[in-house]
């Protein structure tokens, strides 16, 4: 099984006629995703290959069942795109856009949540349920269908971990990049809860990084409510003090968000923490008793 998306998920692409949107829409179709429509204001009535293009999400939703949307638009248009999707009642909104203002995201988070919908991102690679569907920019070829859930704040590090899992024969149920910004739509804890309830997931890999307290909150959830084994990796553990990191969310303040605090929180919750990404498959096998 999987969480959030499967082979029946109908997807639309906002910004489908742009450079990134058109490229990744074609990739998603090639990878087996059901892309039923695209949206670009002013381009309604056109087609991208066989994908019909609409002027708005509402128009697309009038002609198609829409289960999810993925947003490929510049930062100055991303808030409007998120809210347009929310107004149309799209259950799952994935925002790939990076560089969004923090205060806008605070408001967007509440805008989506108040409508009972889910936002993933921004500044994320999306998600994939191997053999079923891919929404976003993850490279399909490195994934393998299986029973390990993957949640990550880092895009490229996700690919390294997934590759190692696949080579080791540990396929994935769903892999999700939640984004590296300070304000994101879906947290580690949100997704751990879904994986805990998914009969097709037997274990979870969590990839965190320095900055913020989301990993510590995840560790508390694991300690009190998670029955499935979790293996973690924290990037940035060797970063020199005061060094600027790549993600906007990789900020340590008030002594919180340090890599050591995260490692200690996970170890205190019984989570095996890898020193290097390539150690994760063996740690997961041990956690599963294999």
What is the spatial distance between Cα 108 and Cα 171, in angstroms, rounded to a whole number?
34
Q: Is 182 in contact with 249 (CB distance < 8 Å)?
A: yes
Q: Give CA 211 to chain center in angstroms.
A: 18
> Of 24, 64, 143, 247, which one is the catalytic site residue?
247
Q: Is 208 in contact with 214 (CB distance < 8 Å)?
A: yes
Active site residue 247: yes
The DSSP call for residue 170 is -
Backbone angles phi, psi at 94, to 5 degrees: -110, 120
Q: Which segments of 100-242 are extended strands (E)?
A: 118-120, 126-129, 133-136, 145-152, 172-177, 203-209, 230-235
Mention every residue, 6+ apart, whose C-beta is less than 8 A from residue 209. 153, 154, 180, 234, 235, 236, 245, 247, 249, 250
Q: How many residues does the chain have?
A: 290
* Residues with a known catalytic role: 247
């Amino acid at each position: 099984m999987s969480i959030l998306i499967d082979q029946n998920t109908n997807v639309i692409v906002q910004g489908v006629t742009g450079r990134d949107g058109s490229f990744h829409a074609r990739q998603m179709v090639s990878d087996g995703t059901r892309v039923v429509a695209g949206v670009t204001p002013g381009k309604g009535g056109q087609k991208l290959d066989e994908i019909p293009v609409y002027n708005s999400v509402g128009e697309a939703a009038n002609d198609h069942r829409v289960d999810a949307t993925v947003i490929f638009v510049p930062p100055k248009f991303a808030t409007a795109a998120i809210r347009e999707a929310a107004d149309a009642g799209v259950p799952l909104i994935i925002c790939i856009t990076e560089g969004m203002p923090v205060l806008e995201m605070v408001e967007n988070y509440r805008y989506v949540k108040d409508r009972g919908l889910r936002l993933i991102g921004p500044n994320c690679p999306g998600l994939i349920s191997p053999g079923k569907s891919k929404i976003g920019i993850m490279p399909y070829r490195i994934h393998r269908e299986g029973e390990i859930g993957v949640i990550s704040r880092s895009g490229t590090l996700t690919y390294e971990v997934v590759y190692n899992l696949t080579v080791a024969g540990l396929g994935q149920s769903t892999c999700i990049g939640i984004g590296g910004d300070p304000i994101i739509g879906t947290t580690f804890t949100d997704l751990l809860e879904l994986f805990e309830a998914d009969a097709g997931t037997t274990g979870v890999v969590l990839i965190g990084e320095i900055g913020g307290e989301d990993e510590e909150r995840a560790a508390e959830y694991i300690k009190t409510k998670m029955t499935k084994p979790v293996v973690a990796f924290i990037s940035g553990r060797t970063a020199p003090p005061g060094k600027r990191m790549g993600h906007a969310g990789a900020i340590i303040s008030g002594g919180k968000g340090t890599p050591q605090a995260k490692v200690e929180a996970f170890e205190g919750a019984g989570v095996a923490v890898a020193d290097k990404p390539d150690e994760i498959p063996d740690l997961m096998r041990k956690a599963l008793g294999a």
